[in-house]
Amino acid sequence: MKEVHSLIIGAGISGLTYANYTSKSYLIVEKENEVGGYCRTIKKNDFVWDYAGHFFHFKTDYFKNKFKKEMKDEDIVYNEKCTKILYEKTFIDYPFQSNIHQLNKSEFIDCLYDLFTKTEKEKYDNFLDMLYGKFGKSIVDKFLKPYNEKLYATDLSKLDVNAMGRFFPYADKESIIKNMKNSNNGSYNSSFLYPKNGASSFINKLYVKLDKDNILLNTTLKEVDINNKIATFSNGEKIKYTNLINTIPLNKFLDILGGYESLIDSMSYNKVLVFNLGFNEKSPLCTKEHWLYIPSKEINFYRCGFYNNILGDNKLSMYIEIGFSKDDLITNETIDKQLKLTLYNLEKMGIISKNMKLTDYVSIIMDPAYVHINSEVEKNIQNLKVDLSKHNIYTIGRYGSWTYNSMEDCMIDAQKLAYCL
């Protein structure tokens, strides 16, 4: 029986980063036929698409410098983020709450009045309660509530107050008023880097440094003997490990371990159907925007992005994101229906013209996509992680940790764990 110090389940950004920084023996086991997880890139004719919109927003110098050192400068594009909200056929700067002065006079007065007469609390019950308390009824009802309901595909009152953590663009009354004269729409990701050949270019830099004999593709984890530290895989192989590093979605990992049915049922999340679309010419409307937020419930997608505006290409290349609940079944019929509806809405919104042709596309189902943060569930998961660590099992990454974080956060956590073990 083969023995390794670190058995890594999943070859996404967290698993590959851990393997890059461990000094001990390791084996990565991945169910797909290639590495990368959700950070894979699809190349189809003239188009380069990621599995979804992946852009590197670095908050530390270490991984930013590593990224730049590993890539040729001409293979990277640097962008100051240009994002808009398409609201009632008008572009509003993002975030909405900081740019209510761009609304028509009547709606602006509604938002401003509610902002100054809102009732704040010392403690909020849930995410929606917090939104009303922080921003007032009009701002919430016009954008924050409908957009986030489309994104998370759930009742916002079921989400924790800090469901989005540092990623939520908070703004107080003073900053909103100041922004009316001197616009400052900066946020945690006001600038980003993007590889011209897609996000997988950086993932491949992690991959090429690893011993390919220590990476097992097209293989799934079937069983874990926690007491004897033996994992069994779909190819029949058994591996004895010192440490097991899980990076696949926690709900799926717990299902393999068995005995966690109640916790799994309580773990809420959404699915996202992604369309990557390639057209024969540029958009007549969106010539510089990197992505748009769409709050209208009449439009089936909550966000769309423009790879060609990021890369400076001449043909419209975009991604579309459509939210579904965790219980929704996304069938081929669903995909066909949503594609037709998407093309109809893109034309109705003016993003494409009647004469433009869809030349290439792919569809991707992200399951899970966004984890729904709930205080009670989060407490139970933290207790679970402590219990698992007593058996030398560590679960990391956005989905392994069941949290809402960035790709850089995943790399930092994986690096720290590798150094500790």
CB 7 within 8 A of CB 225: no
DSSP conformation letters of 219-271: --EEEEETTTTEEEETTS-EEEEEEEEE-S-HHHHHHHH-S-HHHHHH--BEE
CATH class of the 2-39+198-267+372-420 domain in this structure: alpha beta
Quote the pLDDT of residue 185.
Answer: 53
Domain boundaries, the chain: 2-39+198-267+372-420, 55-94+185-195+270-370, 96-179
Superfamily covering domain 55-94+185-195+270-370: Protoporphyrinogen oxidase, mitochondrial; domain 2 (3.90.660.20)
pLDDT at 375: 86
Structure tokens at 253: 């990992």
Q: Are residues 361 and 339 in contact, defined by beta-carbon separation less than 8 angstroms?
A: yes
Per-residue pLDDT of the chain (421 residues; tens, 9 = 90+): 899 999 999 999 999 999 999 999 999 999 999 999 998 999 999 899 998 765 566 677 887 787 778 778 788 887 888 999 999 989 999 999 999 999 999 999 999 999 999 988 989 999 999 999 999 999 999 999 999 999 999 999 999 888 776 667 766 777 787 877 776 655 545 677 788 888 888 889 899 999 999 999 999 999 999 999 999 999 999 999 999 999 999 999 999 999 999 999 999 999 999 999 999 999 999 999 999 999 999 999 999 999 999 998 999 999 999 999 999 999 999 999 999 999 999 999 999 999 999 999 999 999 999 999 888 999 999 999 999 999 999 999 999 999 988 888 999 999 999 999 9
Half-sphere exposure for 360 (CA within 13 Å, toward CB): 16
pLDDT of residue 55: 59
Q: How far apart are CA 163 and CA 145, in angstroms?
A: 14
Nearest partner of 399 among 383, 420, 414, judged by Cα: 414
DSSP 3-state of 136? coil
